[in-house]
Every structure is written in structure tokens, then in C-alpha cells.
A and B are shown apart, each in its own frame.
Chain A
Amino acid sequence: MVDHEPLVLRLNGRDVALPGLPPTATLLRAVRAQGLVGTKEGCGDGDCGACTVVLTSPGPDGAPTHRAVNSCLVPVGSVVGLDVVTVEGVAAPDGGLHPVQQAMVECAGSQCGYCTPGFVMSMYAGYLDPAERGPDGVDPEVVEGNLCRCTGYTSIRRACRRLGTSEDDAALGPTVAAGPGAPGATRTLTSVGRSFHRPTTLAAALGLLAELPEATVVAGGTDLGLELSHRTLDPAVVVSLEQVAELQQLERTATHLQVGAGVTLTRLEREAAGLLPALDEMLHWFAARQVRNRATLGGNLGTASPIGDLPPVLLALDAQVYLDGPDGPRTVAVADYFTGYRETLRRAGEVVTRVDLPLGPGAGAATRLSQSYKVGKRGTDDISVVAAAFTVDLDADGTVVHARLAYGGVAATPVRAHDVEALLLGTRLDQATAARAAALLTETFTPLDDLRASAVYRRRLVGSLFEKFCAEHVPVDRVDHPEAVA
């Protein structure tokens, strides 16, 4: 028997009841309904950052963590129990501006002002995050997910750089205390005829999925949130996997990186930094901070979009996908996982629990060359035209003993170029081989024309990205090649 609890949001340090709102309503809607209209809807797609708020929660070590998120994509049921800070909650109680606000005022970081609350919140989270803030200020990377149409960003960047750490920082801590401790039992939030279940153990989660086959499953909600934001989906029952402890594991063994399906991409990016260059690179280009703060590896596999950024990396690295469900746990190779357009081997009632990524070259190999690439109309925070990831293992003589060439955006699923992989085995991957491979690659897939690019360009990139990879990473007879620098 579940205990149904009403929706109560902790907002800028106060508990606020949300009568009349379902737990699937977006946090943006909930916040504005409270009269806190500083948080704006610029797009409702999680692409402009105008609705950015900060979620404060206890981190792994108990210290509070502060995450900027797009409130238009967050179901309010997901954040009950966390502290939500909006732009109205940033200034000191006496009205004194927070240093972030002060810097934005003094640097003329606002013009029309409509995007400004979102920028302030992204910078506020960066200000409170030792990983983003140092003596030189807050890394402007924290506002890559915020669009401004007026300033050209230079003034905002200046404001970020003005926020360097100094000795009197102690007085400038968060204005909101950390939220309550880790959750215990499953919580079920019920309002307006919708229920939002938040199991905390895998067993409880699988139990709920068996009991509620109609349930919509959500983790960070950065994909589902689009449908909630635009009201194209109104699920009566939601099971959120965000609180499931087992899905939060992130461990490095001697041979593998083991990533729980619920680990956010921000955690993955930080805690796995330097282990797998192809993963590092793709995470850098994967959406913006607000999305990486919510999105999970499991979600990227769950939605199985052919234009997801991470599947090509997982394919290139021979990842293993762990599933659990009514028939018990099982493991599948990621290459087998994707079966069709947004279709996978995952069965009803199953969840992805973990992904294992091998860390080094395989048996018989001396060197591993691995990198990923993403091409979009805009480098930052764009859906890819083509995403690619390559892994080539060389033996001591420089002969290819293993090759994985994986792509997104060129077929109904993320795919590998098996024929070309086979062709590369046993070669020395010199310039001629790379060119021959590129020519073959160009004819390997039959991508579509769409609004982002033509099929011709996509085919072209399938080949030329591999050439680029070879030029930049293969240590061959190209000593005068300026790009061949790590």
C-alpha cells in the first residue's frame, strides 16, 4: 500500500502547497503560478535557458550541490523534497544583490532583461560550484545553455570573470540551506488524478513497473519533459527512476568504467574525466549544462533516438548494457541493443541499470586511438547532423587489430560501419588506407535529407570525419601536420 502525499514544493526556503497542479506539471508552470514571474518561458523546449532555476540537494558527501536546470522540462513531482531556488530567491533577505547579480548589473550583462534571470541562475549555480569557479571567476561555460539575443554575450562573459574566488567568500554562501537527507521509502505524489511514484530501490522500481504496466518511466526527464511542457502528453501514472540508489553507481574497475543508468551526464563528465577521450569529447558537445545536469546515460539508451549523441560512443567502445526486469537481470552488447527506429531489446517492465565501458585496448593491442566528433549547424548545444565515434587498436608494429566506426544521424538507429571495420584490420592505416576507407564509408549508409542537412552532406561527413580522425590521431608519416598535436 502506497502512501499518497500532496504536492508541496520547497521554494526559495518556504514550503508551498500546489493545489490544482498535477505532479506532471512542469516546475516552470508551478513557479509562475506562485506569482514568481521572474522565471520566464523562452521556448518551453529546454533550449534557451530563460526558465533556469537551481535545485539544491545533498551531494554524495552530504554537502549541498547546486544544479541549474531548465524548469520547463522538470516535472514538479521530481523535485518535491529538494530546495528550488528561483531568481527571486538569490538576493539577500535585505534585498542586497548577490555578487552574481551585482556583476551582471555592473558589466551591463542585461539589455532587454528577459533572458537575464536564467543567466543569473546558471551563474549562481556556477558560483556555488567549486568545479566551475576559481580565482578567474565562474567559467562562462555555465551559460552555454542560455540564449541571449541582445548582448552578444561579451558583457555576460565579463560578469562571469568578475566572480573570482576570494578570501571573503565565506559570507556569500547559498541563501538557502541544503534540502533534507537522502530519501528512504518510495514516495508517491498524487494530485489532480495523476500519481508520480519515486521508488528508491531497484526492487521497488521493478515492482512498481510490474504492478503499473501503463506507467510512463522517467529519469531526468529531458526528453519526456518536452511533451509535458507542450502538453502533448498527460500521463496518469509516472514512475521516476531518479531516486533509485542502485542506478546512481559510478565506479572504475581495473578494466571498466561502470556507469549506473541514473548517473547524470554532469557527474559522468566530471567523475570519469580523462578516462575515455571519446566520451569526454562527446559529453562536452552534449546539450548544455542545464540538460547535462538532468539527462542520464540510461535515458539516452531508453529513448534510443537515432540522433542521440552518446550511442555512437558506446558502440565505438563496445559497451555492455545491463538490464533488469521481470525475467531477471541480463547483459547485452550495445551493438545488439538497438533494433530499429526508437526500438531496442528492452522488454516491457525492464529498465537499463548500468553500462560498462572497457577502458583500454583489447588483447593483443598496444595502442588505442579513440575519439568522437559531432557536427551541427552550431557547434554548441545543437542536435547533430552526424555524430561519430571511432576506436582503432594498433599492435606494437602499428598494425590495426581492432576497429570500431560508429555513427549517429545516418540511419534509423545508431550504427557501425562493419565492412569498413573489417577492411581496416591488418592494415597500417596510412593515408591511402584512410582515403580508401573514407570513400567506402561515404557509400555505406543512406541517410535522409532533413531540415538540418542534406543526405549528400551526411554521407560526405561519414567519410570525412574518419579521415579527420586519422589525420588528427594516427601517428603516421605526417610529421608536418599541425593538427596531429594532441
Chain B
Amino acid sequence: MSGPARHHESAVGHVTGRAVYTDDQVRPTGQLTAWPVVSPHAHARVLAVQTADALAVPGVVLVLGPEHLPGVNDCTGHAADEELLPTELVHYVGHVVRWVLGETEDAARLGAEAVRVDYEPLPAVLGIDDALATGSVHTQPKRILRGDPDAVLDDMADGTTDAEGRHVLTGEVRTGAQDHFYLETHAAWAHVDPDGNVACTVSTQHPSETQGVVAKVLGLPRSRVVVTCLRMGGGFGGKESQCHPFAAVAALASHVTGRPVRVRLDRQQDMTITGKRHPFLGRYRVAFDDDGRLLALDAQLVSDGGWSLDLSDPVTSRAMFHVDNGYFVPALRVTGQVARTNHVSHTAFRGFGGPQGMLVAEEVLDRVARHLGLLPELVRERNLYRGPEDGGSADRATTHYGQRVLDNRLPRIWRELSERADLPARRAEVSAFNSRATSRRRGLAITPVKFGISFTKSQYNQAGALVLVYLDGSIQLNHGGTEMGQGLHTKMLHVAASTLGVDVGRFRAMPTATDKVPNTSATAASSGSDLNGMAVRAACETIRDRLAVVAARMLGRNSPEDLVFADDHVFPAKEPDRRIGFAELAYTAYDQLVSLSATGYYRTPNLVWDPAAGRGTPFHYYAFGAALSEVEVDGYTGTFRLRAVDVVHDVGDSLNPLVDLGQVEGGFVQGMGWLTMEECVWDDDGRLRTFAPSTYKIPTVAEIPEHFEVHLLGEAAQDRTVLGSKAVGEPPFMLALSVREALRDAVAGFGPAGPEQRVELAVPATPEATLAAIDAVRAGSTHGTGSGRGAGELSAQQ
């Protein structure tokens, strides 16, 4: 059973402008503003920093440098490879060298412009190819292996078929970076009080790690530092680790000056200073039979980690875990490696490597289908994971890393989606249109999503909550998760209210703070509701059990377990008229010396992962979905229109269908942006040229088709989760792979029908890339030309 379709708990604050974000708070007296001085070089030695001119600017108070650090000069959670204030080297264009503190933002900005830095430029590594050629890496290749793919693949060349009807194809696919483009740029405020206690308000998805970084930089115990996140104007992974330096700078500057300090990046700074979704290079060899059934896959994935490690290792691992998407491959080897380049440090972004891995799977499935002249939707369906319940076997429902795909809903989702969207009729309509049209083609594709839920770093799979009931029956709800628009607080209020049987209106959802719930995990990996929901439930159950004893005494009963907490009251199950109101109960509990606050704690059970062996059960469960997209492509320009989207997605028993629907729709559109229009372009000097919404285009309302039907899978309660619900944050992003595959289907329509067709389409499939693919198909070429342009060919802007 689903929860109520209740609107976001802050919705009224959003629409009235009263919801407060970090940089909207009332300015404290004497607050200083920090402004960054950034490197114009992709790699350079800092020879000298001259601050005299800057300090002469009226209103400039301080130029913050490494000499001011009382603690450790590092702003990472774990990797210890990012100096907060560079001492010797800068590693990318936009690397912050110093921060200038001013009485006003104008003063700080003018001061920053007046800082003179002398550099000695050093050779830079600008991209994955460059990194591979020069051996510039963050990590050595990791491997996950199932079976013996080489047994087939090593004997056969690209495009050949052996006597047993086995075919082999090889290929390569690249994906580009994606900017998070949260509407609220990074912001952090800090104040160190005279006792040396540090209070920070930060737009952070990981307050506890931010707290740790601030403490490390200031040389303080964590207990001296409180980090609060009011709410974020979007995060999407971009504020999981990349927020730390800004909080640390604000705290450090406050420590040095004794004054409150604010840091708030403008859009250009945010886009040039902070990391993005990892670009990936994927190479593959695949073997398959005449029916398109996959026999073996060998995939090599290399990510561009940028200048520092950040989260690149787990991102790349997740790509490896998801290189199968929803498809069973009997023999599979995947390797993954992080390249080190002189770009921004790429970081978490919704899907966390999963999209890049799954894109390789869809690339492979499309190639296999077109090589055989089969409909891609048939080949995809044939290869879905199927356990015994779907006519398959335990083996056919086990991943390359050995985890059984339990509660596999893909075959059911596929059927439901095909029926809802009327796939055969739609395919026929597309064919009919294409046979009539001369300059446009339509295409459609249906793609699955299978996404593993849990942090692959096992110790992150724990959470805490703190529930405080006051004498009047009002309640504060604290938990370790942060609100970035995903509706976490709204869902947690539902979990808490339904556990205590009270009105949601009794609750105040508190800002996330490290002095309420300590040692929390990042709100990431789609796990916010799963982990915190269980912790909230545990805390509320503790309070409910205590109150039940009090209520039993009030009702003169011996057995508190017979009592029902519902409708804002407590009453015996068989005597609903003998009700005690919750406020009365709370007050009575106080009178009877019963505690009205409780913590809750949860850890995900039974997760096992052996990274060395590449085997285990890293995920608590899988989220499933599938999408059908239909597009129309203009053969003159390569532009396209998304005509229709149909989705069936599995969120278990939804905690809140309104919130979940929003996550599915929003994730899809963000994925569509990544695949079709969002293009990060770096030039030959390592400068990001797309650092504003004038040059970096995310979807607008006009790109959204009128036909956009999302159906949440029914009868879908998930075992061992909070109220039967499932994670929803990331999985829908990858439903958008159907848009790219539909585009490819349309592009294929410009060429001759029949087998041995190959459609190569660059990511993102901009109009230019799509027209290049059309030209290649028209020419009957088997090798597309991608975008026809390297980032290195840029000339000066017009």
C-alpha cells in the first residue's frame, strides 16, 4: 500500500519565497565575503603570490593562504590529495589559489582581481586519451570476471561469424561530462565564536564529512564543529564532496579574522571550479548467437577522474557493476580504471557511474540487433535477466559479480510497458511514417533499468535519527539525511507520523545538523529514505513503546501491546472510543517521569563485498524500470523532437506517489539532457568554455513531450525496506537511455534496411553529432564520425 500523495513539506515556503537557503539567511553584523583567485593554467607551479595590491583595495581584510592554516592543508574526506590552499602546484584551470576576504562582495572581488600570482606553466594532461598515452592514472585497473569470455572472443575477429553461428563485434563509445547545474550554487557560511566553537551552515549533502574536513583544517576535534544544512537548491551528487573546501575556507577565514564569513560561488565559478559527471571511454568485444543472445562480453571502462581522486574510484566501480544493465551475460569481464587529468575533479552525479556503464550495455545491444537485422526491442527482451519464476534459471538471474537478482521485476515491467505503450502498434506507425517521409525519420526504443541499491562502501550503509517530543505534543524530527528537493523530509515525516499514529502537522522537520545526529553518511546513492527511514522508524517505535506503557496505565490496562496509535490518539484496539489525545499522553508521560526523546539507528544487513575477488552481494536490492521513447529527427539539421515517453518504474510501495513521480520525471529529463544537449567543451589549454547557461544547455519545458506517461509499478512491496518502499533518486536517470537509443533508431531509418547496419552516435547526440551519424548511415559507412570535432579544434569565440 502506498503512502499519501502529499506535497513537499516545504512547498509553501518554495512558492512564497520564504524557504531559506544558506545564502538567504539574515546577515550577521560584520560578516565578510570570500572571493577566489583562480589559476588560469591547467597545470603550473606557483612561484610567488603578491598580495600588496589586493590588500590596498578599500575593504579588503585578508588574503587567505596556506600560512593561515592551524591544521591540515587538505579538504578531502579520505583521499588526502587536495590542498585547501595550494602551496606549490595548481592542477586545473579554475583551481583556487587564494581567497580574498572583503567587507563587501565588491571589495573581495576587486581584491581578488588585484592578487598577482606568478606561475611556471607545466605540461598538462587534457583528456582520457592523453592520460592513457602518458600513463597518468589515479588507479590501476580493477576487474570483475564471470566465466571465460576469452574462450569465444579471442578466437574471432570483429564482424566475423564462426561455424557454430557465433558472431563477434568490437566497438568503442565515449560519454561526456555533465554539469550538475543545481540552481543553487555552492554556498557556505561560518562563524567561530570566542570559545573556539565553529558553526557552519553549508549547502552540503554530507554534513558529517564537511564537519570532519573543517575540524581537520582547523586542527580541532569534531565535537567543536557543528555543520548544519538548512536545505539545498539541488545537489544531484555535486554537493557530496565538492562542498567541503568552501565550508573549510569560510571556517578558516572566520578563525583568522574572528568574524562571520560567507562563501557563495557565482555560476561561472561554480561551473569552472567544481567537478562534474565523469567522462568515460568504453571499449568492448561482444559475442552473440543468431538470435541475438549474448554469449560473452569483454568491456574496458576508463573514467576521467580529473586532477584529484575524489569519488572516482567508487564511481568507476559502479559503472563496472552496471555494465550488464538488465541483461544476462554468461561470460563477462569488465575492467575499470580512473585516469588522472588536469581538469576539474569529477565527482558524484546521480547514477554515480551507473549511467556510463549501462550506456555501454545499450550500445552493445543495439549493435547486436542491427548487425543481425533484428528489432532492438526483441533482442533486448531476449537478454533480460530471468530467474526460474520467469522461465529462466538461478544462473540466468545472477550478475557477473555473483549477486542473485532477487525480486526481479524486469520481465513484468517489460510486459506492462509494452502493453501500456502499445509497442507493436507504435513500431508499425514509426515504420509507416518512415516509408512516407523524405527528410525526417522517426525512431523508438525501449530500454530497461536495473540499479543496485546500497553504498558500495559498506560502512556508509548506516543511519541515525533523533526524535524529540515536547510537552504540548509537538515533535521535532531529526535524521541524518539532507533535503535537496528529493522530498526526503516529506517521506520521513510520513514514516514518523505513521509510526506514532499522529498528524504530520505535529512535526517540525529540522535542518540536518551534526549536533543532532552524529557520524552520518552522505545523502546519496538513492539511499536517503531507505536508511534514514528505518532509523526514524526505530526512534519513533522506542517512543511509542514508552508511551504505550503510560497510556496503558491511564486506561487501567495491563497490556500496552493492545493499544493502537492512530488518528492522533491512542486507544485499545477493541475500544476505540476510549481515546487519549497525543498531547495529553505526552504531558502525562512527562509527569510520570518518562523520557520523550529517543534516537534510532539502522544498518543494512547482509551486505558482503570482496573487492579483490570482485564478488559478493554489494546491494540490498535492485530498483527496476523501463522506458519507451519515440523521437523524430530532421535530416537537414540533425535536430530532433522527443515525441512521446512511456515509463513503468518500480518504487516498491511508494512512500509518496507525488514525490516519487517527480523523481522519475525529473531524473528522466536530466538523463535526456546528458544524452542529447548538455555538452561540456574544454579547449586546448584546458579551459572549460561552457561555463554558463548561455553556452551549456539543460532541457527546458519546451523539450518535454506532451505525451509523458509515468506509471509506478503496482503490487510492488519490497521486502526488508521501510514500509515496503524502494529507492528512487537515481534509477530514473537511466531511463533516458531510451531517448538515445530511439535517436539511433531514427538515424538508422536514413540508411538502407537490412542486417549489418551500424549506427554510431556520439554522446551527447547534439544536432551536429546526429547529422554526422545520419551522413554516415546515408553513405553506408559502417563507421560514424561522431561529432566531427575534437575539443582541441576550438578557435577563438566569435
Chain A residues near B (Cβ < 8 Å): 35-45, 47-48, 50, 86-88, 90-91, 97, 100-101, 104-106, 108-117, 120, 140-141, 143-157, 230-231, 288, 306-307, 373, 375-383, 385, 409, 412, 448-454, 456-457, 460-461, 464-465, 467-468, 471, 478, 480-483
Contact = CB atoms under 8 A, between A and B. Distances in A.
Interface in B67-84: none
Contacts of A108: 7-8, 11, 658-659, 661-662
B183 A148 contact: yes
Contact of A112 (B18, B231, B798): B231
Contacts of B8: 108, 110-111, 113
A464 B636 contact: yes
B459 interface: no
A481 B438 CA distance: 7
B699 A43 contact: no
Given A151-B662, A456-B788, A110 B437 contact: no
A86, A148, A149, A378 interface centre (most CB from chain B within 10 Å): A149
A111 B436 contact: no
Given A454-B789, A483-B440, A91 B16 contact: yes
Contacts of B768: 385, 453-454, 457
Contacts of B209: none
Given A47-B694, A114-B21, A449-B793, A42 B702 contact: no
Given A101-B15, A150-B662, A151-B662, A112 B795 contact: no
A451 to B, nearest CB: 4
Interface in B608-645: 634, 636-637, 639, 641
Contacts of B184: 40, 42, 112, 114
Contacts of B694: 45, 47, 383
Contact of B15 (A97, A114, A375): A97
A113 B13 contact: yes
Contacts of B180: 149
B704 interface: yes
Contacts of A306: 798
Contact of B231 (A50, A113, A153): A113
A153 B697 contact: no
A450 B17 contact: no
B234 A149 contact: yes
A38 B17 CA distance: 4
Interface in B197-250: 231-236
B10 interface: yes
Given A112-B484, A307-B798, A378-B699, A153 B636 contact: no
Contacts of A460: 771
B119 interface: no
Contact of A152 (B14, B17, B670, B690): B670
Contacts of A156: 701
Contacts of B14: 104, 110, 113, 116-117
Contacts of B766: 377, 453
Interface string B759-798: 0000000111001100000000000000111000111111
B327 interface: no
Chain A to chain B: the 10 pairs with minimum beta-carbon distance, closest first: A38-B17, A112-B485, A114-B233, A113-B14, A152-B669, A111-B485, A152-B665, A47-B693, A87-B17, A110-B14
Given A43-B693, A108-B661, A149-B670, A379 B703 contact: yes
B304 interface: no
Given A113-B233, A450-B795, A382 B697 contact: yes
B700 A381 contact: yes
Interface string B1-35: 00000011011111111111100101000000000
28 contacts: A36-B17, A37-B20, A43-B267, A43-B692, A44-B266, A47-B692, A111-B485, A111-B662, A112-B183, A114-B485, A117-B14, A143-B701, A145-B700, A149-B666, A150-B234, A151-B666, A154-B708, A157-B701, A231-B106, A231-B109, A377-B697, A450-B794, A451-B797, A452-B695, A457-B767, A461-B637, A468-B636, A468-B637
Contact of A45 (B15, B267, B438): B267
Contacts of A307: 798
A471 B439 contact: yes
B332 interface: no
Contacts of A471: 438-439, 636
B637 A140 contact: no
A72 to B, nearest CB: 10
B689 A87 contact: no
B16 A88 contact: yes
Contacts of B695: 383, 451-452
Nearest to A103: B15
Contacts of A452: 695
A266 B224 CA distance: 56
B636 A450 contact: no
B487 interface: yes
A115 B234 CA distance: 10
B601 interface: no
Contacts of A449: 789, 793-795
Given A38-B18, A113-B485, A114-B184, A451 B798 contact: no
A189 B669 CA distance: 45
B232 A112 contact: yes
A405 B679 CA distance: 30
B182 A112 contact: yes
B181 interface: yes
Given A110-B15, A377-B697, A451 B690 contact: yes
Interface string B107-125: 0010000000000000000
B668 interface: yes
A483 B15 contact: no
B609 to A, nearest CB: 31
Contacts of A41: 266-267
Contacts of A115: 183, 233
B681 interface: yes
Contacts of B232: 112
Interface string B706-717: 001000000000
B693 A48 contact: yes
B267 A42 contact: yes
Q: Which among B236, B436, B798 has the highest number of chain A CB atoms within 10 Å?
A: B798
A461 B694 CA distance: 21
Contacts of A105: 7, 11-12, 15
Contact of B701 (A43, A48, A144, A231): A144
A387 to B, nearest CB: 12
B794 A483 contact: no
B693 A155 contact: no
Contacts of B181: 147, 149
A37 B7 contact: no
B588 to A, nearest CB: 35
B308 interface: no
A468 B439 contact: yes
Given A143-B701, A385-B767, A471-B438, A113 B662 contact: no
Contacts of A482: 436-438, 440
A42 B699 CA distance: 15
Given A45-B693, A108-B11, A454-B789, 10 more contacts: A36-B17, A42-B267, A45-B267, A108-B659, A112-B182, A144-B701, A150-B485, A150-B662, A375-B637, A380-B700
B486 interface: yes
A377 B639 CA distance: 8
A36 B659 CA distance: 28
Nearest to B667: A152
A471 B636 CA distance: 10
A376 B697 contact: yes
Contacts of A147: 181, 183, 693, 698, 700
Contacts of B18: 38, 88
A44 B180 CA distance: 17
A337 B726 CA distance: 63
A376 B700 CA distance: 13
A385 B180 CA distance: 24
